């Protein structure tokens, strides 16, 4: 049985005052029936870990190198030292804003796994690619290119995020979500054998309380990578509860 995961990506949002939302979330879910993860800006990781209770804390990116002359970057050891146990890698905003390639994402993931962090590897197509019938080709290429050979069900999570649905309010049909998640599962099994059935595959793309239950009912959707709705306990809690009930 794959234990489900509700993950929140705060992106470039949050200051110390917002840690009250994390304390409220922890108080509302003292013994959650699913795994919980929040990934705040690096400035908040250490302080969030102090108040997160049952909520795991992760980074939003890391460098592939262990240390060195990389101004503004953060290493896996620094993330762990701050209290992180996970790290998001290859998010579409990193791929778009910073031109990250599959090879770069893979190198970062290799560093994360080698240092004991769980890698949450993001893949997904743009609207142009979706409308051009390229979705499975794009997703398959990103999955193969971004996922290290050392990946296992225990140390790696895959997040499917249709780029055109992130923050837009647009959501793929349930059949479209099922098609991509089923394809990802098949590719993981093809590459990793039976362990491929253990990888958790998250859906990320405008998940909110009003649509969470129907999305979580889709086969091979093992949770969600949530953006804006994870910033407030009142918004994230109903999504967690829908996942617990699924």
Q: What is the number of H-type helices and E-type strands within the chain?
A: 10, 8
Catalytic residue among 21, 161, 187, 241: 161
- Is 209 exposed, middle or buried, given 0-12, 13-18 or 19+ CB atoms closer than 10 A? middle
Residue 108 domain flag = yes
- Residue 71 maps to which CATH number? 3.20.20.70
The total domain count for the chain is 1
* Residues 233 and 24: beta-carbon distance below 8 Å: yes
Domain with 233 in it: 16-245
Q: How much of the chain, in percent, has pLDDT values that exceed 70? A: 100
pLDDT of residue 43: 98
Is 187 noted as a catalytic residue in this protein? no
Output 172 or 143, whichever has higher pLDDT: 143
- Is 129 exposed, middle or buried, given 0-12, 13-18 or 19+ CB atoms closer than 10 A? middle
Residue 53 domain flag = yes
H or E, element range at 5: strand 5-9
Residue 2 domain flag = no
Residue 8 domain flag = no
Is 46 noted as a catalytic residue in this protein? no
DSSP state letter for 179: H
Q: Which of 176, 155, 165 is nearest to 226 (CA)?
A: 165
End-to-end CA separation in angstroms for the chain: 13
In our burial notation (b when 16+ CB lie closer than 10 A, e otherwise), range 223-235 reads bbbbbbbbbebeb
pLDDT of residue 149: 98
Residue 211 pLDDT exceeds 80: yes
Supply the DSSP string of 28-69, one letter for each residue: H-SS-SSEEEEE--GGGHHHHHHH-TTEEEEES---SSSSSS
Residue 141 domain flag = yes
Catalytic residue among 29, 91, 110, 181: 91
Residue 240 domain flag = yes
Tokens of 93: 């905003």
173-190 pLDDT, tens digit per residue, is: 999 999 999 999 999 999
Residue 11 domain flag = no
For residues 51-69, average pLDDT: 98
pTM of the model: 0.97
């Amino acid at each position: 049985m794959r234990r489900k995961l509700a993950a929140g990506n705060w992106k470039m949002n949050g200051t110390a005052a917002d840690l009250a939302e994390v304390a409220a979330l922890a108080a509302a879910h003292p013994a959650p029936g699913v795994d919980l993860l929040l990934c705040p800006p690096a400035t908040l990781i250490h302080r969030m870990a102090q108040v997160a209770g049952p909520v795991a804390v992760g980074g939003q990116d890391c460098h592939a190198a262990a240390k060195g002359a990389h101004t503004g970057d953060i290493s896996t050891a620094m993330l762990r030292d701050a209290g992180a146990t996970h790290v998001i890698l290859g998010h579409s905003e990193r791929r778009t804003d910073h031109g990250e390639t599959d090879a770069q994402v893979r190198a970062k993931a290799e560093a994360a796994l080698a240092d004991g962090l769980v890698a949450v590897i993001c893949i997904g197509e743009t609207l142009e690619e979706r409308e051009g019938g390229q979705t499975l080709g794009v997703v398959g290429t990103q999955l193969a290119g971004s996922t290290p050979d050392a990946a296992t069900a225990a140390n790696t999570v895959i997040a499917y995020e249709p780029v055109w649905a992130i923050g837009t309010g647009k959501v793929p049909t349930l059949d479209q979500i099922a098609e991509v998640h089923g394809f990802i599962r098949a590719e993981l099994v093809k590459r990793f054998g039976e362990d491929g059935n253990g990888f958790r595959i998250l859906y990320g793309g405008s998940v909110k309380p009003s649509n969470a239950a129907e999305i979580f009912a889709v086969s091979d959707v093992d949770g969600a990578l949530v953006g804006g709705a994870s910033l407030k306990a009142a918004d994230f809690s109903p999504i967690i509860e829908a996942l617990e009930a699924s």
